[in-house]
Amino acid sequence: MGCRDVHAATVLAFLSGTASVAGLLAAVLLPNWRQMRLYTYNRNERNVTVYTGLWIKCARFDGSRDCVIYDPQWYTAVDQLDLRVLQFALPLSMFTAASALLLCLVGMCNTAFVSSLPDVKLARCLVNSAGCHLVAGLLFLLACAICLTPSVWVIFYNNHLNRKYEPVFSFDISVFIAIASAGGLFFTSVLLFLWYCACKSLPSPFWQPLYSHPASMHSYAPQPYASRSRLSAMEIDIPVVSHAS
């Protein structure tokens, strides 16, 4: 696999990363992290389900889509530790993944629009596309870890709440969306690492441009004095001064 072109691996990684960030955004905004079912034995009343999100809380009667109780200030009074951690972890994961997407886009544009032979004076300062993809892959992996750890913790913390109080708590669809998004981030990082490993076979430093430097970019090493001193007299141009008579 050559590294001077935009390949399907990098394009697929960019699309996968974009979809994962969109999934994280949906998980952050949806009020479906935890459900609490409140049952009543009164036939004249209906059961109530409380939907808890990271920012809002909504209580609905069974069979109704309207919120009987809507609390838009829930984010300031979250009393569940796992949701409080997610309030900081998921935005941080989104920011990290968005930074990785920007780096991936810079690397793709670099391979598509920049000449394969750079200016001699700038060759030591340029960062190649594979270097951008390598850093982007590391950022995607970091975003995956930041997102996945607290999202899986919600499942165990939900079991803790059921044991501590009553078995009325259950995790909702946002947990699955967040875990799936973390899987997408991990898949994106793997694609970028594979692309970088394929490019690393070229003779280039770790972070420098991947193209091989032309002959004009290598510094000229003059011959040592000892080798030049062994030149024969026929190879040395000695000026001859003649005097006119």
* pLDDT computed for residue 124 by the predictor: 44
Within 10 A of 145 (CB to CB), how many other CB atoms are there? 15
Distance spanning both ends of the chain, measured CA to CA = 76
Number of Cβ atoms within 10 Å of the Cβ of 174? 25
pLDDT score recorded for residue 52: 87
Three-state secondary-structure class, residue 190: helix
Residue 235 to residues 64, 127, 229, 231, 241, Cα–Cα distance (Å) = 102, 46, 11, 6, 18
pLDDT of residue 221: 43
Give per-residue pLDDT as tens, 127-155: 567 778 888 999 999 999 999 999 999 88
Distance of CA 213 to the CA centre of its chain: 30
* Both structure tokens of 76: 């300031």
Give the relative orientation of helices 129-164 and 8-29 as an angle to the nearest 10 degrees: 30
At 57 the pLDDT is: 86
pLDDT in tens, 152-187: 998 888 888 888 887 878 888 999 999 999 999 999
